[in-house]
Amino acid sequence: AQSVTQPDIHITVSEGASLELRCNYSYGATPYLFWYVQSPGQGLQLLLKYFSGDTLVQGIKGFEAEFKRSQSSFNLRKPSVHWSDAAEYFCAGSGGYNKLIFGAGTRLAVHP
Amino acid sequence: DAGVIQSPRHEVTEMGQEVTLRCKPISGHDYLFWYRQTMMRGLELLIYFNNNVPIDDSGMPEDRFSAKMPNASFSTLKIQPSEPRDSAVYFCASSLVAVNQPQHFGDGTRLSIL
């Protein structure tokens, strides 16, 4: 069955430290993959997307993600975290022309 | 550009009352989605429309839930009668041309059923 898994429910990092949020997918073909961010009281905002081509994709707010077919992963990274990055992050995927499946989310806390 | 607009932002009502949530998608978007978000179940897709036609309503939890899209710029999600377990944040999202394209979310309606 198609699925998107975010293994980490909650992550805490210090401001200025690097960040990596994990996402694993289960799709037969090359999936369409997305990362969204949700700040408190707001809807989900698209950070970046991967459809095909270059496996390292750049997004907004200094985020990037790398598609690794061999590991079925699409991890989100940021070299230096800011306090304003504290939010919940959702990975989502679609196989072919199917609806998106969202992961359970990872809540990021940032220590000053 | 205006994003997806939802109303009301907050709704508090008593059990048994009818609740109507409203959504205006981004102009030109062909797909509209209704989601429910709770701590226990996360983000759940309830139903989605393509060109105003319901395509997949398999996520609608019960017959108490219904959704309509009378035109390209307006959709409603109705709960009748409402129950406390319906308390959640309900999101509307829209996307261009295909169901697997990036979705643009509204700010949600926080629903509390007492």
pLDDT tens, position by position, for chain A (112 residues)?
Answer: 788 999 999 999 999 999 999 999 997 777 899 999 999 989 999 999 998 888 999 999 999 999 999 999 999 999 999 999 999 999 999 877 778 899 999 999 999 8
* Alpha carbon distance B102, B96 (integer Å): 8
Q: What is the mean pLDDT of residues B31-36?
A: 96
Closest CA to A34 of A21, A47, A16: A47
* Of A43, A94, A105, Cβ closest to residue B108: A43
- B38: CB partners within 8 A, 6+ apart: B44, B87, B88, B89
Q: What is each CA distance from B17 to B8, B11, B47, B69, B109, in whole angstroms? A: 16, 12, 22, 22, 16
Which of B6, B31, B35, B100 would best serve as a mutation to test chain A binding (most A beta carbons within 10 A)? B100
Q: What is the mean pLDDT of residues B63-81?
A: 97
* Alpha carbon distance A42, B10 (integer Å): 12
Q: What pLDDT is attached to residue B1?
A: 64
Assigned token pair, A78: 């940021």
Mean of pLDDT over chain B: 94
- Are A105 and B42 within 8 A, CB to CB? yes
Q: What pLDDT is attached to residue A77?
A: 98
Q: What is the mean pLDDT of residues B76-92?
A: 97
State how far residue A14 is from chain B, nearest Cα, in angstroms.
25
Q: What is each CA distance from A29 to A5, A6, A93, in whole angstroms? A: 17, 20, 12
Collect all residues from B whose CB is shorter than 8 A from any CB in A.
Answer: 4, 33, 42-43, 45, 48, 56, 91, 93, 98-108
Q: Which residues of A touch B45 (CB under 8 A)?
A: 99-100
State how far residue B57 is from chain A, nearest Cα, in angstroms.
12
Asked if the model's pLDDT at residue B49 lies above 90, the reply is: yes
A76, β-bridge pairs: A21, A65
For the stretch B15-28, pLDDT in tens is 999 999 999 999 99
Asked if the model's pLDDT at residue B66 lies above 90, the reply is: yes
Other C-beta atoms lying within 10 Å of the C-beta of residue B41:
11
A106-111 and A10-14 strand pairing: parallel
- A67: CB partners within 8 A, 6+ apart: A33, A50, A55, A56, A57, A73, A74
Q: Which residues of A touch B107 (CB under 8 A)?
A: 41-43
The answer to whether the Cα torsion of B112, B114, B45, A101 is positive or negative is: positive
Residue in the block written with tokens 């109507």: B20
* Alpha carbon distance B55, B8 (integer Å): 25
Closest CA to A78 of A36, A19, A21, A35: A19
Other C-beta atoms lying within 10 Å of the C-beta of residue B35:
27
- Are A42 and B4 within 8 A, CB to CB? no
Among chain B residues, CA nearest to A41 = B107
Other C-beta atoms lying within 10 Å of the C-beta of residue A28:
8
Q: What pLDDT is attached to residue A27?
A: 79
* Alpha carbon distance B59, B77 (integer Å): 13
